[in-house]
Amino acid sequence: MPLNDRVGRRMKLHDLRVLMVVVEAGSMGQAAKRLNITQPAVSRSISELEHALGVRLLDRGRQGVSPTEFGRALLDGGTAIFDELHQTVSRIESLADPSSGSVRIGCSAFLTTTFVSAVVDQLSRLHPRIVFDITAAETETLQRELRERNLDFVIGRKFSATADDVLKFETLYDDPFGVVAGVNNPWARRRKIELADLMNEPWVLPRPTTVMGSFFADAFRASGLGPPRTAVFASQAELRMNLLRTTRFLSIFSTSIMRFRDRRHELRVLPVKLRLPRVAVGIVTLKNRTLSPVARLAIEHTRTFAKQ
């Protein structure tokens, strides 16, 4: 019997789901607990899949189970299958109400507290039946989650022009950077400042080994300066902003921070020439993936909000 016929007759979505849970759990026993079924039922599902495909899907050892090359290929396809099924159900639900359902958005912690929170607030007022599932993480984690279809789309910064065969980046706006201080910092009252004047002030910056920290270090090098006196190394945007409010510290932020959450009453962008290029903020999606109507609505609203 041809392989396609065998798969069509014998391969079940339930068995495929069992395989995915087994690999995630690392053992048949743990998978059985998560699925609330017996371990023989788990083994039977795996056996039926292997019989239908005619290949071994799992390697079994003392440390548990791991997917074979064939198993990994099936898992990749299974992820896509369940994602498409999820999107199809969402589309069916949206036929009754296109403005209801859930949307999964990934973004950086900084954008969560600024641009993304403003977008979500406005969209939820227009369409109160939409449920938002927001994930804040580092760029690498967000891209992996998007590739594994655990996110509908990502809102993030683009620090390089590297082409990607899987991900698509659509620019929303270009974000300039500046030196930022608390409103009561003595430097906030100055009308003209050179970057060199600030080198001995206490700075709070990401570590130079991070993407953002390396990007900020370029600003000092471009002005012929070494690293400033960094009193606190921190990547968390909220922590850095809280320290700026103490009036002692300086930091670097994208100037769009002043447009959200009344930051203009707490912080000041100093009149310092900072030699850093603007960085595009945009929407990242998975190429050749059909999104649900709710996700497409959220993306369209995000575009409109960015233009404002």
Closest CA to 266 of 176, 206, 188, 198: 188
Sign of the CA dihedral running 144, 150, 155, 161: positive
Render pLDDT for 72-123 as a digit per residue (tens, 0 to 9). Answer: 888 887 777 777 777 777 666 666 566 778 899 999 888 888 899 999 999 9
Q: Are 180 and 199 in contact (CB under 8 A)?
A: no
Query: What domains appear along the chain, each with residue ranges and CATH number?
Result: 3-80 (1.10.10.10), 98-160+288-307 (3.40.190.10), 177-277 (3.40.190.10)
Vertex 26 angle, CA 21 and 31, to 5°: 40
Predicted pLDDT at 284: 95
Closest CA to 98 of 132, 129, 120: 129
pTM: 0.65
Least confident range of 3-7, 253-257, 261-265 = 3-7
